[in-house]
A and B are shown apart, each in its own frame.
Chain A
Amino acid sequence: GNSVTQMEGPVTLSEEAFLTINCTYTATGYPSLFWYVQYPGEGLQLLLKATKADDKGSNKGFEATYRKETTSFHLEKGSVQVSDSAVYFCALCKNSGGSNYKLTFGKGTLLTVNP
C-alpha cells in the first residue's frame, strides 16, 4: 500500500537557521505530494504541493522538489523564523482502488524555532 515516512522530531532550530525535513514515500505510479502545516491549536493548511516528477513546490520561503528516482519530497527553508514553529506533515494523494484518491499522511514533524 501507499505510505509516507518523514523524519522523527522534534526539530529545534535557532532563528535564521537552515531547515530540512526529510520525507520519502512508497507508492506505485505517480502520486501527488504535499506538505501541510499545523500551527498550535489549529487545523491543517496546505503549504506546498507537486503533482509530477521534478516539480518544485514553493510557498512562504519553503521549497520541496518531487524526486521520483529517490521517492523523496524533502522540505527546505533557508532561514526559519519563530513564526514557523508548527507541526509539518508530508502527504501523498494516490488512487487507493477504483477511482478513489486517498490522502496518506506521514507521522508529522514538530518544529520549534527559538529566537
Chain B
Amino acid sequence: DTEVTQTPKHLVMGMTNKKSLKCEQHMGHRAMYWYKQKAKKPPELMFVYSYEKLSINESVPSRFSPECPNSSLLNLHLHALQPEDSALYLCASSQRIDLNYGYTFGSGTRLTVV
C-alpha cells in the first residue's frame, strides 16, 4: 500500500459545527503532516507529527486541533471555523521527519465553511 487516504473528500460545515478530518497510511511512515491549500496557492504547512508526537505547529489557530492516535492515523478536529478557513486540507506522510526523501500526499478534503 503506497497511498495516503483522506476522508471525507468533501465537507460542508457551519461555523458552530464540530467535525473531523481523517488521514490514514499503511506505509510504515513515522512522520505525518497537515497542510492547508487555498485556491491557486501552494500548500501551507500546519502541523507535523513525528512518532505520534506533535513536532511542529505553525502557529495555527486553536480552532484546528490535530490528533495522532497511532502510527497510521492522523485526525484534524475542527470547531468554530470561519468562512476564510474554507480550503483544501491535505495530509501527507514521510518515512521520518529527519530524512529528505519527500512526502506522499493524500487527495485532500475540500472544506467549505458556511
Contact with B along A84-109 (1 / 0, CB 8 A): 00000101011100011111011110
User: What does the 1/0 interface line of B18-49 toward A look like (CB < 8 Å)?
Assistant: 00000000000000000000001111010010
> With A43-B90, A43-B108, A44-B90 in contact, is A108–B103 under 8 Å at CB?
no
**Chain A, interface size: which category?**
20 to 34
| A32 and B102 within 8 A (CB) | yes
Q: In the assembled complex, which residues on chain A have CB atoms less than 8 Å from the CB atom of B94? A: 101
Q: How far is the CB of B57 from chain A (nearest CB, A)?
A: 12
Minimum CB distance partner of A105 in chain B: B42
CA distance A89 to B97 in the complex (A): 21
Query: Which residues in B have their C-beta under 8 angstroms from that of A100?
Result: 48, 55-56, 97-98
Q: Which one of B40, B100, B104, B108 has the highest number of Cβ atoms from chain A below 10 Å of its Cβ?
A: B100
Q: Which of A14-22, A45-53, A62-70 contacts B (4 or more CB under 8 A)?
A: A45-53
- Total B residues in contact with A, Cβ cutoff 8 Å: 26
Judge if B107 is at the interface, Cβ distance under 8 Å. Answer: yes
Q: Which of A32, A44, A99, A108 contacts B105 (CB 8 A)?
A: A44
Interface string of A20-37 (1 = CB under 8 A from B): 000000000001101010
Chain B residues with a Cβ under 8 A of chain A: 6, 40-43, 45, 48, 55-56, 88, 90, 92, 94, 97-108, 110
Given A93-B100, A100-B55, A100-B98, list of 12 further CB < 8 A pairs? A32-B101, A32-B102, A42-B107, A43-B88, A43-B105, A43-B106, A44-B105, A45-B105, A51-B100, A103-B45, A103-B103, A108-B42
